């Protein structure tokens, strides 16, 4: 489990964090309206302030020329999960400004699930980490990302 503190302040108690109804709406929006996420088949299984789980059921379209999951699918899944965990925490628009991905294993079928957690937050940035596991629980990819937090209030779902 992540350390939800940042220099002594609890990240989850941040005043911008989305409430339960907003989190449900965010998950529905992601699952039904975000076109690229729909295109790759990414689905939110859980989201709360500072944390998100997103999965993909691997299909033939996700595979590269060697018959294993394309690295771009891992990267997209990681970026989506981290972005959701940040958005759920800050409650305002955010954007990926830096991301690192490490490919640790190959997958050719089944479900992969990505769990992301915000590990650091300032007024203007948030840092998240994500781990992707296959159906057997094997760690197959991981990443970190830094997100710009926009201070403009309003609908965080853009």
Tell me the pLDDT band of 76, cut-offs 50, 70 and 90.
very high
User: What does the alpha-carbon distance between residue 86 and residue 35 come to, in Å, rounded to a whole number?
Assistant: 20
pLDDT in tens, 21-40: 888 888 888 888 888 889 99
- The arithmetic mean of pLDDT across residues 146-150, rounded, is 95
Whether 5 has a pLDDT exceeding 80, the answer reads no
Q: What is the pLDDT of residue 23?
A: 86
- pLDDT above 60: residue 56: yes
Query: Which CATH architecture fits 5-149?
Result: Roll (3.10)
Q: What's the mean per-residue pLDDT of the chain?
A: 87
Query: Read out DSSP for 135-154?
Result: TT--EEEEEEEEEEEP---S
Question: Per-residue confidence at 156, pLDDT binned at 50, 70, 90?
Answer: low
The two three-digit tokens of residue 148, written as one number: 């710009």
Record the pTM: 0.85
Summarize the confidence of residues 6-13 as an average pLDDT: 42
What is the mean predicted confidence (pLDDT) over 91-114? Answer: 96
pLDDT score of 44 more than 90: yes
Q: Residue ranges per domain, the chain? A: 5-149
Question: Which are the contacts of 13, defined by CB distance < 8 A and separation ≥ 6?
Answer: none
From CA 65, how far away is CA 51, in angstroms rounded?
33
Instruction: Kindly tell me if the per-residue pLDDT of 88 is higher than 80.
Output: yes
- Whether residue 112 has pLDDT greater than 60: yes
Region label for 50, one of left (φ > 0), alpha (ψ between -120 and 50) or beta (otherwise): left
């Amino acid at each position: 489990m992540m350390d939800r503190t940042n220099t002594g302040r609890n990240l989850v108690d941040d005043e911008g964090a989305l409430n339960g109804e907003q989190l449900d709406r965010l998950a529905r929006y992601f699952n039904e309206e975000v076109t690229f996420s729909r295109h790759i088949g990414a689905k939110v299984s859980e989201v709360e302030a500072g944390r998100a789980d997103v999965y993909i059921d691997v299909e033939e379209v996700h595979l590269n020329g060697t018959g294993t999951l394309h690295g771009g699918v891992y990267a997209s899944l990681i970026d989506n999960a981290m972005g959701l965990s940040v958005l759920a925490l800050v409650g305002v628009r955010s954007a990926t400004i830096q991301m690192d991905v490490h490919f640790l294993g190959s997958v050719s079928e089944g479900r992969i699930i990505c769990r992301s957690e915000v590990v650091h937050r300032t007024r203007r940035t948030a840092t998240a980490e994500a781990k992707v596991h296959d159906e057997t629980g094997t760690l197959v990819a991981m990443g970190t990302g830094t997100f710009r937090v926009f201070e403009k209030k309003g609908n965080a779902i853009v």
